[in-house]
Structure 1
Amino acid sequence: MLLRRRRSCGRGSALSGVAVAWLCVLAGGPAVSGPSSWWTAGYPRQVHRSLAEVELLSHLAVILVPQIPIKELFRDFCVEPSENWASSRLSPDLAVPGVLREKNAILFLEYDGYYRHHLPCGIQADERKNAALLQHAPLGSHIVRVAHAGRNWSEVQDSVIESVVGTWQPGDPKSLLQSVAQVTDCLASELTVSLLRSETARRMNWKNLERAKTFVDQAVLSNAVGTRESRSCEIMRFFQEDIGLSELAAKSTLQKHIQLLACSIEANLKPTVQWLRELGLSDGQVSKAIANFPQLLGYSIEANLKPTVEWLLEMGLSDGQVCKAIAYCPRVLGYSIEGNLKPTVQWLHGLGLSDGQVCKAIASFPQLLGLSIDGNLKPTVEWLHEVGLSDGQVCKASASFPQLLGLSIDGNLKPTVEWLHELGLSDGQVSKAIASFPQLLGYSIEANLKPTVQWLRELGLSDGQVSKAIANFPQLLGYSIEANLKPTVQWLHELGLSDGQVSKAIANFPQLLGYSIEANLKPTVQWLLELGLSDGQVSKAIASFPQLLGYSIEANLKPTVEWLHELGLSDGQVSKDIASFPQLLGYSIEGNLKPTVQWLHELGLSDGQVSKAIANCPQLLGYSIEANLKPTVLWLRELGLSDGQVCKAIANFPQLLGLSIDGNLKPTVEWLHELGLSDGQVSKAIASCPRLLGSSIEGNLKPTVQWLHELGLSDADTLKVVAACPASLLLSIEGNLKPTVEWLHEVGLSDVQVSSAIARCPQLLGLSIEANLKPTVQWLHDMGFIDRQVSKAIASFPQLLGLSMAKNLGPKLGLLQSYYDASFIRDMIAAFPALLAYSRDRLEHRLHILHGQGQLSRLKSAMSLTNERFRLRGLRSKATCATWTMWQQDPKYKWMGHGVSDTKLFGFHGRLQNDLPHTYSPGEHQRLPRHMSTERDCHPVDVIRPALPGYSGFLPGRVPLRVSPLVP
């Protein structure tokens, strides 16, 4: 039935000092009418059903009819059973006569505080009772149903109204009187016409309410024997002896739910405690559950507790999860399955949570089932959407942190978001932080968030770094400063990191503060030390790449090291790579490392070159094939390098692949072009010295060119130096170039000679003074060179300083000593130091020939000849042109005769390079082979074959000589 009116009174009714309520009756008539015969036919109840009912209604009794004893108003009435009311007894909670205008009419007050009154079955039962009361009571009677929330009735009835009041704390007079005042206010406003007018307004105070308090203390409740005081003692003793609560806790528990005085210890309390223990709760959990929610002891095991547990199990919770849920939130056993549990689960499914997620959410936050869908859940979800979370993010956040749905929007959520904005996070960063770590919204700003931020600032992080760290890792705000943050920082300091390195590491990788020192940090450091890194290298690696400490040793670190070993790197190379580039350990073997190595192989690098490249430049494995490697190779090819040159350049300088095309490569090439190098010279320079592309134009290249100019080299000479030896541009002016020039001056070279030497041999600048230059000069001195001869030799042939003592100078000196004395060797090298630049084989061969001819003194001129000219040199100097004396041709043989002036010619028995002409015939002048020429009837002899067929020697004078019959 829909009630005629519903009076909803909040808990804001003011009661200054002593609670005051006014019952102003506006209708005329006598002050109070006497009880009717129907009312007097009833009888007072000896046992009361609910302590809350007795508390509220006894105070209303004193206010409404102070002249009637309170116990008389709690009455039962005998009635004839009917179809609607099968019982022969009708028991209104409170029956007040003489306050309504209609003669003999009764004002019934019903207290519906128990949750079952809000269930469909409870509402139907209350409607049946309303009908029975109005059927049997005198005409004009009214019913006032007092509840803590409004209900939907099936029909309207003018004689029944509902008064919605706030709750009160048992034993707290102030909160109780607030609820009493709300009821009296409802009576005054809703029953104005029906109530009798009182002569004066009655003022409620402690004095005239004392009777109500006394009545409550002496009331006997159902299922329990004794007065309130005796019952309190019994239940407190039960709490202490059977449940294990302290005296103070027992008293506090009873005050929370004074209605327990109406419960039987043997019939209600003990069985419930036993049931909880059988469910799996420990004694401590049982005592804690009852202390937190003593109402639990008033529930029926069969009607409430067991059905709720069975429903939770059907939802998918394990026995342990159910036990844990009840231990942490015992009030879940008081929720209505149909009114709370099922609708909430259905709503969660509608939000997008799976069965498993719903089950997990309930297990971790059973309080979720008690939240109002319209009052809590829906508004929170709408707010999350407004903050910027998508449906999926809201679903995920609710599943991972269901407590979020129970937080107050105005008390928790909005203030936290506002604080994050003030910290410097953008709207997007805030929504992302909440989506990834919704627990953030549950932290106290004053107790958690602000202290953590202050600690980070004291650690050395700037405001920007703090906001960035929180945006990237909001979990940071949930760590304990004393238990997590400070110990981790202390450990990092002990590891060797400075204050600046610690703050930088945390700013770059705030997740570091969440790792366990014993379970994560120490084992990783120990593993690095065992790998071969020193303490300093470990400290440096962590400072530059703190993410290293977050990797799993078994799943990440060890497999990567094993793969590097399989690739061919030694233990030392692996430890060196990790020390210089710890990021290597974070790459996926299948996703990064193997594909890069495969690409290098396809480019043409051998296994050895690949392993060497990675050993020298482990960063290579972190470059993107599509974004870095392929574009760089393509650019090198377009520059003019062949595939082989590209491959060689990468093998020698793998860092090349990490350089920016637009930021490094192109500007360097443009600068080389501006310097005067042609396209071919540029490509050749890069092919021979790819490191050139990694040098700074302003920091290295331009200063070196400027230094060369200041040294006296012209633009042309400088260009020649760069083209011939681009590596010279990479040398340090202070560390290499200037010391070398100073040393050359000390050796005796003038400024002009130095600049000339560098122009002709720029490689000279890259030689080590101690390892190359000084030993070579000492070697010359050991041969007998004086200082002037040394400087002259270097000035005339600076390449001398680059020759190896062991592989060049020493072996050649030994060879010369086989033919010459020391002084001759000294003078010859002083006059012709370039002699030492020729190959040992060439020197040995020509020494042998010259020695056979007795012409060792002519070594200098002989060494400069090409091999061909050296073979022809002696013969041409002695041979004379001879006229043709005989030419005869037949079908089979051709021969030619000529005369010579000397039979002891050098090379006379040498090797003929070209056959005699086969098509030359008398009377014709045809083109002869390239080593011959014709002038009328004569030609010079170049060389002849040894042991020619038909050879018979040489005759003196101009005598025809038969050389060889040739078969056509």
Structure 2
Amino acid sequence: MHSTASVLTVEPEWHSDGVDMYLHTTVRFLRDIGVSTQVLASTVRERPQVLEGALQAAVEYLWSIGMNAAEISSILSSLTSALDESMLPKLAYLHSIGVKSLPPLQQLDRLSVDGHLRLTVQFLTDDVGVRHGDIAALISGYPQVLSLPLETQLRPALQHLRDLGLTCLAVRRMLTEYPAILAVDVPRMVAHLQVQLGVGEKQVGKLVADFPACLLLGTQVNLRPQLEYLAGLTASQQPASLVLRLPQLLTWSVETHLVPQVTFLCGLGLTKGEVGDLVQAHPLLLNAALRPQLEYLIGLGVAPRQFAFVIQHFPQVLGYASDGKVRPLPHFLVSLGVKPELLGKLIKPYQPVLGHTGVTRTAAMLRNMRFGPGTSSVPMQAVEGMVLKGGVLNMGATTSHLQPAVRFLRSVAVPWKEIAAMASQCPQVLEARVRATLLPTIDFLFNAGLTPEDVGKLLRWHPRLLSLGTERLQQAADNLRALGIGTYHVGRVIRSAPHVCEAPVHKLAANLEYLQSLALSAEAVHSMVVRHPTLLTLQLAHLQRSVACMQAWGLTQDTIAAMLQRCPLLLTMPLHSPRYGLKLQFLREVLHHDVAAFLRMHPVFLIYSLPNRTGPRTAYLMRAGRRLEDLVETLSATDAKFCQEIAVCTLEQYHAFKEQWVRTEGARWGGK
């Protein structure tokens, strides 16, 4: 390696006073902005023409387009071709969109601004949907994306991702976080995952949606060892189901991760079979990072066999550090009057907020806080509930911190008495920031077509909506539209079943697809879903069992479809319960109806209680000689309306008869 001085004296004829002055000035300038002597020597050796002015011109140009000294130094240190005039417009364009990390020199040399760079950026913004503000970070994190061919790689990769059933929003988020996926042969990788996991393309699509990094594993990865180990551990014939629930398993080695973690769990007093059962229900237990939390829980008196219950009801506990956040909990619970020997049982509602300072002060403040005129202070039991659920305690909150949220809830028609109930049910409501959280959420609900009264009721019964954030709510609305729910009905669905906002889109789509398979038209299914949105969030197994029950009654597919169009609520009922068999028996033996023909026209008959409504009303009408054909129309009426319009008797007379009938006949028809 020659020194800089030896390189600069290669051509003696250059050493006039003027040139010598120019060289010293150039070298000093480059040294000042951080270009090392070694880099400068290498540059001049490979490109001596820089001494004729190209270097100074390049530096001045880069400076003129807004690059600082560190950026110029980085470019000159890595790209000697940055001195070429053809390279300058490329650098200027990339700098104009905020790109800090550039692709390799050989790749950038082959690219043009208009023929490559602009088209790639346009593809990312227009086709993928990447926000303009995220473009610079995406390219800086994966500059190779600029050199990927547009028509033969980028567009096909995007289309393959959409063919997997991913929503536009999911694809955008995935590629913003993992832009290297654009360089992957997606069909080949999907086929490899299908073969390795033994699942279909639809399940791989769900896996990709939950864990996009699986596409970057490469087709050479062998997943058989993990699957075989999981199958032996859990005695499961489908170990891939665990991977679909916890995709990180794909990256955990059997020897270095899974075996040591199972050994650790067995060392806590569990048998290998019990560990297998726990892992089958909660595969997250295989995460070795959980050891400190599990050890600390045992130290507080939580038996290893209670882990399943704890994790099932409060899975957040697995994400908490055992020091600094969990440790202060026992002391605080004791200060609330919890007996030390009960700590192990009460440890289930762990929340990290209990480790913050100011908890005791906040609890005292809550006891003294009144939620409006004429209301009492929050009872101690409610305060303990807030403490155990967490939320308002995470900052050592003060009245001035909580009252803005209270005032805002009043402004959207939530009564004073309901705010205290909301705070007990979901304490996070009180700590929500009005401008950052409450206003955007309320605006979203208003834009979805809800009235202030609707919003007040919705927040009263489902205050968790305020913790979801507008981005997640918007995603839920987009998911509903993608499933065919009209924009006009989206607000109605959210109002009737707010938990739909928390359901994954693949679950909603699976339920919708199943309903359409029941000889129901798309229009009929959408009407059912709009009237009873809970159909989208029920477990698919529950829907299938309900339909199987109706088939077991001897009902045809057409009859079932007609019943569901008239009364979608049937699918939410426990039709497998014996009391529904008694209702069919009542139809045949007392009302003398053909079951299939009657239920096809009057499925609502199955909704109402036989021993408390249908039975006594039928008996009263029969005793009074009234038409039984009027019975179905009266089932939805109150007792007072039934007496006034159908039975033509006083309410007292009917209630006396009903009590007598329940005592003598109620047990036969399912009464207590």
The structure, 1 or 2, with the larger RCO (C-alpha pairs under 8 Å, 6+ apart) is 1
Structures share fold, TM-score greater than 0.5: no
Q: TM-score, normalised by structure 2?
A: 0.45
Task: Work out which of the two has the higher radius of gyration on C-alpha atoms and give 1 or 2.
Answer: 1
| More helix, by proportion | 2
